[in-house]
Structure 1
Amino acid sequence: MKSAYDVIVLGAGAAGMAACLFARLNGLSALLVERTAHLGGTSAFSAATIWVPGSPLAASVGAPPDDIDQARRFLNETVGTHASAAMREAFLRWGPQAIARLQNETQVQLRARPLHPDYIQDAPGASLRGRALEPLPFDGRALGKRLALIRPPIPEFTILGGLMIDRDDIAHLLKMTKNPESFLYAAKLIGRYGIDRLTHKRGTRLVMGNALIGRLLAALDAAGAEIVTQAETEALLTENGRVTGIKLRQNGRIYDITARRGVVMASGGFNRHPTRRAEMLPQPTAAYSPGAPGHTGRIHDMALALGAHYGEGALDNAFWAPVSTRRRADGSLAVFPHFVLDRGKPGTIVVNAAGRRFVNEATSYHLFTRAMYAAHRHSPSIPAFLIADATALRKYGLGMVRPGGRGLKPFLADGYLVEAPSLAALAGRLGIDAQGLQTSVARMNDYAASGVDAEFGRGTSAYHRVNGDPAHGPNPNLGRIATAPFYAVRLLPGDIGAATGLVTNEYAQVMRKDGTPLPGLYAVGNDMQSVMGGVYPGPGITIGPGLAFAYAAATHLTGAL
Structure 2
Amino acid sequence: MLLPRHTIPRRLWLNLKGRRAGHVTITTAQGFEPIRRYSSHHDSFDEETDVIIVGSGGSGLTAALRCHALSLRSIVVEKTDKIGGTTALSGGGMWIPNNRYLRERGDEDSIEEAFEYMCHSIGDAGPASSDSRKMAFLENAPRMLDFLCDAGFAGRASGRYPSYYPDLPGGRTERSIESSVFDSRKIGPWYKLIRQGKNPYPPVHTDESSRLFRSATSLSNLFYAFRLLVLRGLGRKLLGQRPVTMGPALVCQLLHLNLQRGLELWRNSPLTELIVENGTVVGAVVNRGMEDKVVRIRARKGVLLAAGGFARNKRMRIEHQKRPIGDAWTSAQQADMGDAICLGIDLDAQTALMDDAWWGPTVVDPSSGDRFFMTYERALPHCIIVDSGGSRFMNEAQPYTDAGHDMYQRHAKVAAIPAWIILDASHRRKYPFASLLPGYTPASALKSGLIYKGETLGELADKIGLDPHQLQHTVERFNGMARRGEDADFGRGGNAYDRFFADDHVAPNGNLGPVERAPYYAARIWPGDLGTKGGLLTDKDARVVDKSGEPIRGLYAAGNTTASVMGRSYPGPGSTLAPALTFSYIAVNHMAQV
**TM-score, normalised with respect to structure 1:** 0.91
Contact 1:264–1:521, Cα closer than 8 Å, also in 2: yes
Matched, 1:353 2:399: no
Equivalent AA in structure 1 for residue 370 of structure 2: A
2-structure distance, mates of 1:177, 1:445: 23
Unaligned runs of 5+ in 2: 1-22, 24-45
* Number of the residue aligned with 1:223: 261
Contact 2:53–2:60, Cα closer than 8 Å, also in 1: yes
* Number of the residue aligned with 2:360: 321
* Number of the residue aligned with 2:336: 295
Matched, 1:111 2:156: yes
1-structure distance, mates of 2:495, 2:322: 29
2-structure distance, mates of 1:449, 1:355: 21
In the alignment, which of 501, 515, 530 is matched to residue 564 of structure 2?
530
For 1:95-134, list aligned pairs within 5 A: 95-106=141-152, 108-129=153-174, 131-134=175-178
In the alignment, which of 370, 392, 397 is matched to residue 334 of structure 1?
370
Q: Secondary structure at the residue paired with 1:81?
A: coil
Matched, 1:464 2:498: yes
Q: Secondary structure at the residue paired with 1:95?
A: helix
1-structure distance, mates of 2:58, 2:550: 27
How many pairs does the alignment contain?
Answer: 540
Q: Secondary structure at the residue paired with 2:589?
A: helix
* Number of the residue aligned with 1:279: 319
* Number of the residue aligned with 2:58: 14
Equivalent AA in structure 2 for residue 394 of structure 1: R
Bigger drift between 472-481 and 1-10 goes to: 1-10
Give, in angstroms, the shift of residue 185 of structure 1. Answer: 4.6
Q: Give the direction of change, closer, same or farther, for the CA distance of 1:415–1:193 in structure 2 (3 Å limit).
A: farther
Q: Give the direction of change, closer, same or farther, for the CA distance of 1:111–1:240 in structure 2 (3 Å limit).
A: same
Give, in angstroms, the shift of residue 121 of structure 1. Answer: 2.5
Q: Secondary structure at the residue paired with 2:164?
A: coil
Give, in angstroms, the shift of residue 319 of structure 1. Answer: 1.7
Matched, 1:245 2:245: no
Contact 1:289–1:495, Cα closer than 8 Å, also in 2: yes
Q: Secondary structure at the residue paired with 2:187?
A: helix
1-structure distance, mates of 2:146, 2:237: 36
Question: Where does structure 1 differ by over 6 angstroms across 4 or more consecutive aligned residues?
Answer: 193-196
In the alignment, which of 116, 131, 140 is matched to residue 94 of structure 1?
140
1-structure distance, mates of 2:100, 2:357: 30
Deviations 1:221-266 (A, max 9, x none): 1121201111111111122221111111123311111111111001
Q: Secondary structure at the residue paired with 1:343?
A: helix
1-structure distance, mates of 2:398, 2:212: 25
2-structure distance, mates of 1:185, 1:497: 29
Q: Give the direction of change, closer, same or farther, for the CA distance of 1:253–1:327 in structure 2 (3 Å limit).
A: farther
Q: Give the direction of change, closer, same or farther, for the CA distance of 1:370–1:337 in structure 2 (3 Å limit).
A: same
Equivalent AA in structure 2 for residue 336 of structure 1: F
Q: Give the direction of change, closer, same or farther, for the CA distance of 1:211–1:434 in structure 2 (3 Å limit).
A: same
Q: Secondary structure at the residue paired with 1:118?
A: coil
* Number of the residue aligned with 1:77: 120
Q: Secondary structure at the residue paired with 1:97?
A: helix
Unaligned runs of 5+ in 1: none
2-structure distance, mates of 1:387, 1:177: 24
Bigger drift between 272-281 and 483-492 goes to: 272-281
Give, in angstroms, the shift of residue 483 of structure 1. Answer: 1.2
Q: Secondary structure at the residue paired with 2:553?
A: strand
Deviations 1:304-363 (A, max 9, x none): 22221113xx595222011111156xxx52111112x21011111111111110000010
2-structure distance, mates of 1:382, 1:274: 17
Give, in angstroms, the shift of residue 557 of structure 1. Answer: 1.2
1-structure distance, mates of 2:360, 2:205: 19
Q: Give the direction of change, closer, same or farther, for the CA distance of 1:169–1:544 in structure 2 (3 Å limit).
A: closer
Q: Secondary structure at the residue paired with 1:237?
A: strand
Equivalent AA in structure 1 for residue 350 of structure 2: H
Query: How large is the Cα RMSD of the aligned pairs?
Result: 2.2
Contact 1:87–1:531, Cα closer than 8 Å, also in 2: yes
Deviations 1:36-59 (A, max 9, x none): 111111111111110111111112
Contact 1:316–1:535, Cα closer than 8 Å, also in 2: no
In the alignment, which of 504, 510, 513 is matched to residue 476 of structure 1?
510
* Number of the residue aligned with 1:436: 470
1-structure distance, mates of 2:179, 2:236: 20
* Number of the residue aligned with 1:383: 418
Matched, 1:68 2:85: no
Percent of residue pairs identical: 33
Bigger drift between 263-272 and 142-151 goes to: 263-272
For 1:417-436, list aligned pairs within 5 A: 417-436=451-470
Contact 1:44–1:152, Cα closer than 8 Å, also in 2: yes
* Number of the residue aligned with 1:402: 437
Equivalent AA in structure 2 for residue 237 of structure 1: I
* Number of the residue aligned with 2:405: 370
Give, in angstroms, the shift of residue 61 of structure 1. Answer: 3.3
Contact 2:203–2:233, Cα closer than 8 Å, also in 1: no
For 1:150-165, list aligned pairs within 5 A: 150-155=194-199, 158=201, 163=202, 165=204
2-structure distance, mates of 1:181, 1:356: 37
For 1:177-196, list aligned pairs within 5 A: 178-179=219-220, 183-189=226-232, 191=234
Q: Secondary structure at the residue paired with 2:337?
A: coil
Matched, 1:208 2:246: yes
Give, in angstroms, the shift of residue 489 of structure 1. Answer: 1.3
Give, in angstroms, the shift of residue 166 of structure 1. Answer: 4.1
In the alignment, which of 400, 407, 428 is matched to residue 393 of structure 1?
428
2-structure distance, mates of 1:412, 1:488: 10
1-structure distance, mates of 2:229, 2:102: 29
Give, in angstroms, the shift of residue 381 of structure 1. Answer: 0.8
Deviations 1:88-127 (A, max 9, x none): 0111111110011111113x22211231111122321112
